[in-house]
Chain A
Amino acid sequence: MDNQSIKQPILEIRNLKTWFPIKRGIMARTAGYVKAVDGISMHLYKGETLGLVGESGCGKTTLGRTLLRLEKPQKGKILFYGKNLLDLKRKKLQEMRKRIQMIFQDPLTSLNPRMNVLDIVTEGLVEYKIIEGNNEAHAKRLMKEVGLDENSIYRYPHEFSGGQRQRISIARSISLKPDLLVCDEPVSALDVSVQAQIINLLLDLRDSYNLSYIFISHDISIVSNIANRIAVMYLGKIVEQGPASDIINNPMHPYTKALINAVPTPGIYKKKKIVLKGETPSPSSPPPGCHFHTRCPEVMDICKNIEPQESKTGMRQVWCHLYR
């Protein structure tokens, strides 16, 4: 992927903002906003995996849902193959939607309990009139693709284990041969011994389908095993992004450093523990200046009032006053 810079990205997000209004009082007056996604820009190339890391409530899921137009953004552009998804009318959007799919943390709630696996995995194919209903051959092919028993297509979601259910939702998501798969915490609800199976499956499918992934997780160690590039989010904003190996080997932003330091690593005694003080502030009232300043071990005076701008070196971007 050396000549990436001359290729056009398949996805480009520009200054995206998804805010949720906070309603108060009998008149349901808007009293403010939860700025779940607050000015995010990023891009993704064909066949690439972008890992999106951050703690609970920082806006990862909202960003993913906005990409699928399940949330309506306030502002910004989502360019998919150069076309702004936010400008598309229904028919064109429908066509584009086919090419972007999403899988979720809890496969049980995202799979319809009253549908059998055959219908679940071929639902999209039927909807887009690629096949007629009850097509066993397609269902079996998809099951095989994700490592499940072809003969279980007439069973229902509750008859499968968590890991198997996640395979079913992956089978459904690849059925339309999408270009982009948004994976929202796809292994967080799974047993440890099964997580690695799902990661491997995603790696294999990326190669065989030439898929691009946005891989969302709160666990930077899982992300590091699948992402080519990593973006770290804190309170609605990206604080650092760049090639995965650079981020892991040489984190620049104090928050990224803390995230990496917090990973318990068997066999290695940490020289220095970074323990952040305090709590993540609420995204409805983020602190002024750098959002991270209330917890940052390296906070300076300037951080309390002035929001850090992007500093860029090569493929690496960081938003922190330490790198002006």
Chain B
Amino acid sequence: MSKKLLEIDKLTVSFETDEGVFKAVDDVSFHVKNNETVGLVGESGCGKSVTALSILRLIPSPAGRIEKGRIIFGGKDLLKLDIREMKEIRGNAISMIFQEPAAALSPLHKIGQQMIEGLMLHKNISKKTAWNIAESWLKKVSIPDAGERMFSYPYQLSGGMQQRVIIAMALMLTPDLVIADEPTTALDVTTQAQVFELIKELRQSHTSILLITHDIGVIWEMCDRAVVMYASRIAEEGNINDIFSKPAHPYTKGLLKSVPKLSTETERLMPIHGYVPSPFNYPSGCYFRDRCPQAFDRCKKETPRLVDLGNGHKTACFLV
């Protein structure tokens, strides 16, 4: 078994807003091993991005606060590093790809300029070498006329191309871990297919990936293992085959049934009833309780803990 590259242990993150304080991430633990692609899946607002931002210590302060937990990466607790050490990690060891490509690129600077900055800073190389490396990465992510594109401003590229530039920027630093937060949500279906091919190539090069998505279909296509989140907590975790062939948590089961699949008939679908509650209205006990078709008395009173079903397949539900 390969070693754990990243281990998140009982992470709890809270936010203070006008409406009050709430936990965006509640007692979350999971890990990513070397050479592994792990999918973090769940609906909007369940805490995926906050988890990712915590790893890089990018939680907006003072509104957000990591209340407790450890984030062990390469033997060190990232939550204990000072700013300088953390910067080093962000540039060299962990790269992040965000959902909105526009937000990750500066509108004022040419693509090439933005690309070489990071390289020169973290790799201690000359401008010329950095330029060549950057250009070669643009080619690798299939940007046509890469040499010319180095002189383009972000607005001159389509969303798909911008996202590829960002992927190139993340990869050229040869990180050990790439965190991709909904990297294709803003893109067209056929562009999404292109980006996935790129990410699959990345897997070949022994980089570990934490892929965040709301689309469980994407998890099937891209990942070795999945962590399913619901309302700030982990509902289920396991390897892809276990998650898809024998889902244990009623939420995972509901999600798999409700996702519209390619169909040749117009049949009624099987939705999960009710709506995702706001963090200020989470029910007592199990947060999935008022949408769960199998809820019973105990679910109201106690919070289910993650239980290991064997083979690393875990679920937080009283039914098991």
Task: Report B215 CB to chain A, min CB distance, Å.
Answer: 7
Task: Flag if A221 contacts B144 (CB, 8 Å).
Answer: no
Partner of B217 from A199, A266, A273 at Cβ < 8 Å? A266
A258 CB contacts on chain B under 8 angstroms: 190, 193
**Which segment, of A28-36, A189-197, A303-311, faces chain B?**
A189-197
Flag B239-272 by CB within 8 Å of A: 1 or 0 each.
Answer: 0000011000000001110111111111111111
Partner of B262 from A163, A265, A273, A274 at Cβ < 8 Å? A265
Flag B160-174 by CB within 8 Å of A: 1 or 0 each.
Answer: 110000000000000
Chain B CB within 8 A of A74 CB: no
Task: Flag if B160 contacts A193 (CB, 8 Å).
Answer: no
CA gap between A147 and B188 in the complex, in Å: 32
A55 CB contacts on chain B under 8 angstroms: 188-191
State how many residues of chain A have any CB contact under 8 Å with chain B: 49
Interface of B is mostly: loop
Task: Flag if B262 contacts A220 (CB, 8 Å).
Answer: yes
Task: Flag if A200 contacts B268 (CB, 8 Å).
Answer: yes
CA gap between A266 and B219 in the complex, in Å: 8
| Given A164-B275, A200-B271, CB of A259 within 8 Å of CB of B264 | no
State how many residues of chain B have any CB contact under 8 Å with chain A: 46
Task: Flag if A263 contacts B262 (CB, 8 Å).
Answer: yes
* A152-204 interface (Cβ within 8 A of B): 161, 163-164, 191-197, 199-200, 203
Chain B CB within 8 A of A106 CB: no
Task: Report A10 CB to chain B, min CB distance, Å.
Answer: 18
* B149-199 interface (Cβ within 8 A of A): 158, 160-161, 188-194, 197
Chain A CB within 8 A of B214 CB: yes
CA gap between A228 and B265 in the complex, in Å: 8
CA gap between A219 and B216 in the complex, in Å: 15
| Given A221-B260, A224-B263, CB of A193 within 8 Å of CB of B216 | no
Task: Flag if B220 contacts A267 (CB, 8 Å).
Answer: yes
Task: Flag if B43 contacts A193 (CB, 8 Å).
Answer: yes
Task: Flag if B264 contacts A249 (CB, 8 Å).
Answer: yes
* A200-220 interface (Cβ within 8 A of B): 200, 203, 218-220
Chain B CB within 8 A of A134 CB: no
A86 CB contacts on chain B under 8 angstroms: none
Chain B CB within 8 A of A280 CB: yes
Task: Flag if B272 contacts A193 (CB, 8 Å).
Answer: yes
Partner of B258 from A193, A219, A224 at Cβ < 8 Å? A193
What 7 A-B pairs are tightest by C-beta distance, nearest first?
A: A264-B217, A196-B271, A196-B269, A245-B264, A55-B188, A193-B272, A264-B221
Interface residues of B (CB under 8 A from A): 43-44, 142, 144, 158, 160-161, 188-194, 197, 214-218, 220-221, 244-245, 254-256, 258-273, 275-276, 291
